[in-house]
Structure 1
Amino acid sequence: MSRAELPADPPLPDARPDNWVDRHAPAPWRPYLRLARVERPIGSWLLLLPCWWSSALASGTLGLYPNVWHLMLFIVGTVAMRGAGTTYNDIVDRDLDAQVARSRHRPLPAGQVSVKQALLFMAGLCLLGLCVLLQFNPSTILLGFGSLVIVVAYPFMKRIMPIPQLVLGLAFAWGGLVGWSAITGGLGAPAFLIYAAAIVWTIGYDTIYALQDIEDDAIAGIQSSARLFGTRVWEGIAVCYVITVLLLSGALIFAGAGHAAYAGLALFAAHLAWQVKSLDPADGDLALRLFKSNREAGVLLFIGIAADTILRAA
């Protein structure tokens, strides 16, 4: 199907059919909101959660309550920077996206916006992200800029390496460093362990996500961990999730966390185990649901860490 034959405003298959963008947003805004994945907030959640874990755990080590102002800033910052990142990704991948059923109706391959318009939109989101970043201490500001190299490199990795999810993880896990630095002004072993855990977690959940596209990816020559693991996808995801839990356990140990944090980690681990047990690689709809359920898994861990931090500060 050529770009000229694509519908002018088609629904995207991995968005909820009742999402507010398609139902309520003014029509001229919709392509831009879709570029930023506003109607698919799971990516913002997955970018946000390592920030929240690290921020709450760092507060606990200092005997402080969770910093609600920081947590709110992270919400705005992750929405803005995730939107900038997805817009950049769509600009780079617009020709590849046209070859994949799930992505061929995105605004750029569908011709709903031009590359110039997308670049201007991305610049606006980056400016908003910069305004958020400038609210933090100098160390955190520098750290925030450090992630840009990874973000710029990621879209090209699916063309040259068998597991591009690793580079995606390096970007999506960055909040594990930023959250800690924003509280303490530096980095420590728990921050690095959370960062490493979130990288491996990203490889696991994005492998589940990539199962939706495995056939189209093979035709288009797009690399993914789902293709790499092949018939051993269960084992691959399970190993990623086990390593994630072990690294997070190390972070809690080094931070001197208490029982509530470990209870949150136990619920997080149980949720990941349920995902692996439920997975059917041939069921794309199920893969999408399991991928999205990582929000609930991550929130359970955050609640445990935050509760422990509050108990330690009280």
Structure 2
Amino acid sequence: MSQPVEPGLFRRKWALYLSLIRWNRPAGWLLLLWPTLSALWVAADGFPGWHLLTVFTLGTFLMRSAGCCINDVADRDFDRHVKRTAGRPVTTGAVSVKEALLLGALLALLAFALVLTTNAATVGWSFGALAVTLVYPYAKRLFSMPQAVLGVAFSFGIPMAFSAVQGGESAGLFSGPTSVPPLVWALVLGNLLWVLAYDTEYAMVDRDDDLLIGMKTSAITLGRLDVPVILLCYLLFISIWAVALLQYVRGAIFYVAIVLAFAQVAWHYALIRSRSREGCFKAFRLNHWLGFVLFAGLAATYALA
């Protein structure tokens, strides 16, 4: 006879899966969303249409969630030694490795299904995005600045947005850097610097634990240079985007957003200068507001043009 299903089992499993993909912590996928939507607006010279907006918003959420599943499986033996991550579902065994991988694969397939509704060039870019997503969790064992790998992963939405708007079928399935305009690479460079800034703040939270278990992070590599380098990365990010977009975004609103972004950098300095665990974690969690301000400035400028 088959065993009866335990009452409430589905509800508990569902709650664990939501925890696994960080459902209650939207900051992570918002950090990925705002630069992607900014690129989408610039590429489309304004509102890109509901189809592409839906594809990139849902796709961003799904791929970030899939990345969480992969990351937690890869780090399960390390996470139990880190105070902040010891209670994660895969680490505690509440969700099995097989379950986490299956969920991650399902989410990635759903994201890929969305990309298939765009064009061949964007599909080609999506393979690169998936490859970097798979590589990143293991970069922390090999590279002294794994945050740079995350920066690459979190920047793929920018060329994909331009490709989806401007790339036709003639670009080919595996079209490369020449299929997008040079502006894309300025936006990617700026975004990569932003990721280095906020993920170093994140790494500062776990620095003591990571030193004990031998994990490599930018916070450990930089040592006492962590705060100055974070500030430099923030300033370069905002400056690169401001200069790169000068000829594309005409209007005072975007530059008001730039000023507000610089003001947020000052706020971040106030939070991280003491290098306290609480201050660094708060700075990381609030980073998505910086991305939102820049996107809102862009969107408002186009709307009022």
Q: Same fold (TM over 0.5)?
A: yes
1:48 maps to 2:41? no
Q: Is the Cα contact below 8 Å between 1:176 and 1:198 reproduced in 2?
A: no
Instruction: Provide the rounded CA distance (Å) in 2 between the counterparts of 1:114 and 1:278.
Output: 37
288 and 190 in structure 1: CA distance in 2 versus 1, 3 angstrom threshold: same
3-state secondary structure, aligned to 1:173: coil
Q: How large is the RMSD of aligned CA atoms in angstroms?
A: 1.7
2:190 corresponds to 1:197? yes
In the alignment, which of 137, 140, 151 is matched to residue 155 of structure 1?
Answer: 137
Whether 1:303 and 2:296 are equivalent positions in the alignment is: yes
Map 1:12-91 onto structure 2 (within 5 A): 26-60=11-45, 64-91=46-73
**1:77 CA drift (Å):** 0.7
Match in the other structure for 2:272 = 279
Which deviations, in whole Å up to 9, do the C-alpha atoms of 1:189-212 show, x marking residues without a partner?
A: 222111111111000001111111
- Report if the CA contact (8 A) 1:100-1:216 is conserved: yes
Q: Is 2:96 the counterpart of 1:111?
A: no
5+ residue gaps, structure 2: 1-9, 168-178
Contact kept in structure 2, 1:54 and 1:176, CA below 8 Å:
yes
1:263 aligns with 2:253: no
**3-state SS in 1 of match to 2:246:** helix
1:218-243 per-position Cα deviation (integer Å, ceiling 9, x unaligned)? 00101111112222222110111121
Report the CA distance between 1:132 and its aligned residue.
1.3
Query: How far has the Cα of 1:256 moved from its partner?
Result: 4.8
- Residue type of the alignment partner of 2:281: L
For 2:134 and 2:277, how far apart are their aligned partners in 1? 28
Is the Cα–Cα contact under 8 Å of residues 55 and 67 in structure 1 kept in the other structure?
A: no
Q: Distance in 1 between matches of 2:111 and 2:274?
A: 36
Which residue in the other structure is 2:201 paired with? 208
* Alpha-carbon offset, residue 281 of structure 1: 4.3
For 1:271 and 1:68, how far apart are their aligned partners in 2?
31
**Residue 229 of structure 2 corresponds to residue 253 of structure 1:** no
Aligned residues between the structures: 285
Verify the 8 A CA contact 2:34 2:292 in the aligned structure 1: yes
**Matched residues in 2 for 1:220 and 1:59: separation?**
46
Where does structure 1 lack aligned partners over 5 or more consecutive residues?
1-24
* CA positional deviation for 1:66: 4.0
1:53 Cα offset (Å): 0.8
Aligned to 1:175: 157
Aligned equivalents of 2:302, 2:51: Cα separation in 1: 16
SS across alignment from 1:39: coil
Which residue of 84, 94, 115 corresponds with 1:102? 84
The answer to whether 1:220 aligns with 2:213 is: yes
| Partner Cα distance (2:238, 2:92) in 1 | 40
TM-score normalised per structure 2: 0.88
Aligned to 2:170: none
- Between the aligned partners of 2:65 and 2:126, the Cα distance in structure 1 is 16
CA offsets per residue over residues 250-302 of structure 1, 9 Å max, x none?
Answer: 32025354332222222222212321233244421221111111111111100
- Which 4+ runs in 1 deviate beyond 4 A? none
Partner of 1:129: 111
Among all aligned residue pairs of Structure 1 and Structure 2, give the percentage whose two residues are the same amino acid: 34
